[in-house]
Each structure stands twice: as C-alpha cells, then as structure tokens.
Structure 1
Amino acid sequence: QRFPVMWQGGLALKNESSYVQMHFIAGNRRLPSQALPQPLPNGVLPPLRISQRMRLEHSQLDGVAKRMQCEDDYCILIAVACGRDEHDINHQTRSLNDGFITYLLSKQAAGIVNVPLPGSEQAGFVVHIFPPCDFVDNSVAQQGSEALMDQLRQIPHAVIII
C-alpha cells in the first residue's frame, strides 16, 4: 500500500468537526501513533482538536521546514474526509472543506495541536494542520509525490505535519 492509512478519527475546530483518514506520505511512521489521539479505555476516540493557529509566514514556516530535515523528526500525512457511505462521505467532505480548509485559508494560517507527552503536561509533539498552500504542496512534491499532488488538487484535503 503506497499511502497507508495511519489514523482515522475526528478533526475538530471550534464548533466544526469532520471525520477524516490520514494517509502516510513521508517521514517517521511511528509519530502518528505517538502524537495523534488513541482510543480511551472506554473505547471512545477523542477528536484531534485544533486549539491554536500559526500564521503562514516565512518565519513560522522556516521553523517547520527545519524540523523536517531529519526523517526521524517529522511525519507528513494527507487528511481526506471519510464516512460510512457515499452520503456521509459527501457530508464529511463539505465539513472538511467549509469548516477547516476555507477557514484556515481565510486566516492565512495552519491549525496547531500541542500534544503532551504521555502522562505529562509537557508538550511532546506539535501537530500542524495545513490547508492547501505552496509550502505543503512543495513539501509533498519534494517527497517524490508530484503525481499525488495532482490528484489531491481535485479533492478537499489538509496536510498534516507532525
């Protein structure tokens, strides 16, 4: 499987939510299981809730790019809507597009989730949720996934960088 599903669950921002699948593109395959929500003992999977924004400015993006120089230190995932059936997938796709992508683009920002280390309050991981933009298009294309970017331009998606 070229782009395996690494995580599936809810993405949340303010009062918006969308059910997504995150497909592995490049980097450290272990990071998603460490940084993304895992089921609680009662079986409930908490959503990945965006709590902050990061402006899509060179100074901010340079910091993300620096962390992406060592393959062990980052992971790129593509988030696309998923659902139980075609009707649900269409609903989730609209939610992802309207509630997340359009909102983040209007703010010229990426969503941020600070994930504490297990059993700690100390930040362990920063999960960035990017709307389509030059920075992530170039990051995915540099991984040899130019053809994937061409396909993705046809559907609403977000790029996740841990």
Structure 2
Amino acid sequence: MGTKQPLSVLVVIHTADGQVLLIERADKAGYWQSVTGSREGEESLLQTACRELLEETGLVATEHQLTDWQLHNRYEIYPHWRHRYPDGVTHNDEYVFGLQLAQPQSVQLAPGEHTAQQWLPWQQAAELVFSPSNAAAIRLLPSRLGLE
C-alpha cells in the first residue's frame, strides 16, 4: 500500500468570463480534470494548492488570483487508485480553490502526470470532467463570477 494522504486540493483554473482549463490525466486517457493533488507532510492546504499548481501547470499562484472557496468534499476513492493510500483508506477529504487568470493561456504540463490541456466554457468543462466534485465546483463559477 501507498503513503498518500487522504487530504487533497482541487484548483479550478478559470478566467473572469467563465473559461476553464482542463488537463488530461496520463494514467487514464480521457479523464479530464482541474488541478488536484494530495497534501505532503504538514503543509497547509494553501501550500498544497500552490505546490500542485506549480508542479502540474507551471503557474505561480502568487502571480495570479488564488482564492479558497471554503468548500469541502468527502468522497470515496476510486478502487483503481486506492493502492496509493495506506491500507484501509477508502475516502478522501478535498478542499476547493480557484485560480483566476486574465485570459486563457497554455500551461507547462507535468511530464508523466498529464498529456493534454484545453480551455472550455464552464458548461462544457463541467460536462467533460470525470469527477463529480470537480463538475460541481465548475458549476459554481457563474455565481462566483457574477455571470448569472
């Protein structure tokens, strides 16, 4: 069994007009998502979000508008990924952040983690992501951005 902590962040990267960046997982073709990642050591959730953004996209959080959405999700870990966690761990606690960019831009994907990227309107992005909690977070964008 693995040592991954069942405590993670989800970072929705978006623009003010509701465009969302999705990245495709290297270990599961067709699995599109926002930036995600587990806490390492005793880092704070904000530190986890900043680290994952840098590792997975090359984006430096302090150069953009990173916000804690004050949302917490608890979900069952997919069976095909449970080997990454300590024995007996079946659920993960996920905390949601958003990173607003001025406009869509290409990012530097982490080799071995992600294979492709695309910017989509929030409605299409919410339909494409594989994770229900990721879809729910994306569907919050219109109200968060005043687009309703």
Indicate whether the TM-score tops 0.5: no
- Determine which structure has greater relative contact order: mean sequence separation of CA pairs < 8 Å that are 6+ residues apart, divided by chain length: 2
Q: Flag the structure with higher helix content.
A: 1
